[in-house]
Structure 1
Amino acid sequence: MRPRNIDEVVGQKHIIGKDTALYKMIKNGHIPSILLYGEPGIGKTSIATAIAGTVEMPFISINATTAGKKDIEQAVTVAKTEGKLILFIDEVHRFNKLQQDYLLPHVERGLISLIGATTENPFHDVNPAIRSRCGQIKELKPLTKEDLNELIHRALEDKERGLGSLPIEISEEAIETIASSTKGDARSAMNVLEDVVMSSKTKGSETINIEIELVRECVENKGFSHDKDGDLHYSLMSCLQKSIRGSDVNAALHYLARLIEGGDLISICRRLTVIAYEDISLAAPEVAVHTVMACQAVERLGLPEARIPLANVVIEQCLSPKTNSAYKALDLAIEDVRNGNIGEIPLHLRDAHYSGASKLGHGIGYKYPHDYPNGWVSQQYLPDVLLNTKYFQPKQNGQEKYFSKVYDRLEGLKEEGKK
Structure 2
Amino acid sequence: MVEPLAYRMRPTNLDEVVGQQDLVGPGKIIRRMVQAKRLSSMILYGPPGIGKTSIASAIAGSTKYHLRILNAATDTKKDLQIVAEEGKMSGSVILLLDEIHRLDKTKQDFLLPHLESGCIILIGATTENPYINISPAIRSRTQIFALHPLAGTDIVRALKRALTDKQKGLGDYPVAIQDDTLAILANGAHGDLRSALNTLELAVLSTPVDAQDKKIHITEQVLVDSGARPPIAGDKNGDAHYDTISAFQKSIRGSDVNAALHYLAVLAASGDLPAIMRRLLVIAYEDVGMANLPAAARTVAAVQAADRLGLPEGRIPLADAVIELCLSPKSNSGIKGIDAALADVNAGKGQQIPDTLRDAHYQGAKELGHGTDYKFPHDYPGDWVAQQYLPDDIRTAQYYEPKENGKYESAFAVQYQRLQKANHYPAKS
TM over 0.5: yes
Distance 1:108 1:4 in 2: 27
- The answer for unaligned runs of 5 or more in structure 2 is 1-8, 233-241, 300-310, 335-374, 387-400, 419-429
Q: Is the 8 A contact 2:100 2:124 kept in 1?
A: yes
Larger CA deviation: 190-199 vs 12-21: 190-199
Counterpart in the other structure of 2:217: 209
Counterpart in the other structure of 1:46: 54
Matches within 5 A, 1:52-131: 52-131=60-139
* CA drift at 1:242: 5.2
Distance 2:15 2:209 in 1: 37
Q: Deviations over 1:111-138 (max 9, x none)?
A: 221111111111111111111111x211
Counterpart in the other structure of 1:153: 160
- Report the 3-state secondary structure (helix = DSSP H, G, I; strand = E; otherwise coil) of the residue aligned with 1:54: helix
Q: Is the 8 A contact 2:252 2:260 kept in 1?
A: no
Q: Deviations over 1:78-108 (max 9, x none)?
A: 1122222111111111112222222221221
Select which of 168, 177, 185 maps to 1:170: 177
Amino acid at match of 2:110: Y
- The answer for unaligned runs of 5 or more in structure 1 is 225-234, 292-302, 327-338, 345-382, 412-419
Select which of 263, 280, 286 maps to 1:254: 263
Counterpart in the other structure of 2:359: none
| Compared CA separation, residues 385 and 94, structure 1 to 2 (3 A) | closer
| Compared CA separation, residues 259 and 72, structure 1 to 2 (3 A) | same
Q: Deviations over 1:51-72 (max 9, x none)?
A: 1111111221111111111111
| Compared CA separation, residues 198 and 110, structure 1 to 2 (3 A) | same
Counterpart in the other structure of 2:28: 20
Select which of 149, 172, 179 maps to 1:142: 149
Select which of 268, 280, 288 maps to 1:279: 288
Distance 2:152 2:179 in 1: 13
Q: Is the 8 A contact 2:97 2:123 kept in 1?
A: yes
Matches within 5 A, 1:20-419: 20-134=28-142, 136-202=143-209, 204=211, 206-218=214-226, 220-221=228-229, 243=250, 246-247=253-254, 249=256, 250=259, 253-255=262-264, 257-259=266-268, 262=271, 279=288, 314=322, 317-318=325-326, 321-323=329-331, 341=377, 384-386=382-384, 395-397=403-405
- Report the 3-state secondary structure (helix = DSSP H, G, I; strand = E; otherwise coil) of the residue aligned with 2:121: strand
Q: Is the 8 A contact 1:182 1:219 kept in 2?
A: no
Q: Deviations over 1:138-185 (max 9, x none)?
A: 111111111101000001000111111001111111111111110111
Distance 1:306 1:133 in 2: 36
Counterpart in the other structure of 2:17: 9
Q: Is the 8 A contact 1:179 1:189 kept in 2?
A: yes
Distance 2:52 2:312 in 1: 34
Q: TM-score, normalised to structure 1's length?
A: 0.64
Distance 2:128 2:317 in 1: 32
Q: Deviations over 1:340-369 (max 9, x none)?
A: 85579xxxxxxxxxxxxxxxxxxxxxxxxx
Distance 1:81 1:305 in 2: 52
Q: Is the 8 A contact 1:192 1:219 kept in 2?
A: yes
Distance 2:76 2:313 in 1: 47
Distance 2:91 2:101 in 1: 27
Distance 1:105 1:172 in 2: 51
Q: TM-score, normalised to structure 2's length?
A: 0.62
* CA drift at 1:109: 1.5
Counterpart in the other structure of 1:348: none
| Compared CA separation, residues 323 and 10, structure 1 to 2 (3 A) | closer
Distance 1:37 1:385 in 2: 48
* CA drift at 1:217: 4.5
Counterpart in the other structure of 1:232: none
Q: Is the 8 A contact 1:239 1:255 kept in 2?
A: no
| Compared CA separation, residues 311 and 204, structure 1 to 2 (3 A) | same
Distance 1:213 1:399 in 2: 55
* CA drift at 1:311: 6.5
Q: Deviations over 1:252-292 (max 9, x none)?
A: 6424542476598xx98xx79x959x928878x9x99xx9x
Q: Deviations over 1:16-35 (max 9, x none)?
A: 11111320221333322111
Q: CA RMSD in A?
A: 4.6
Aligned residues: 327
Counterpart in the other structure of 1:416: none
Counterpart in the other structure of 1:347: none
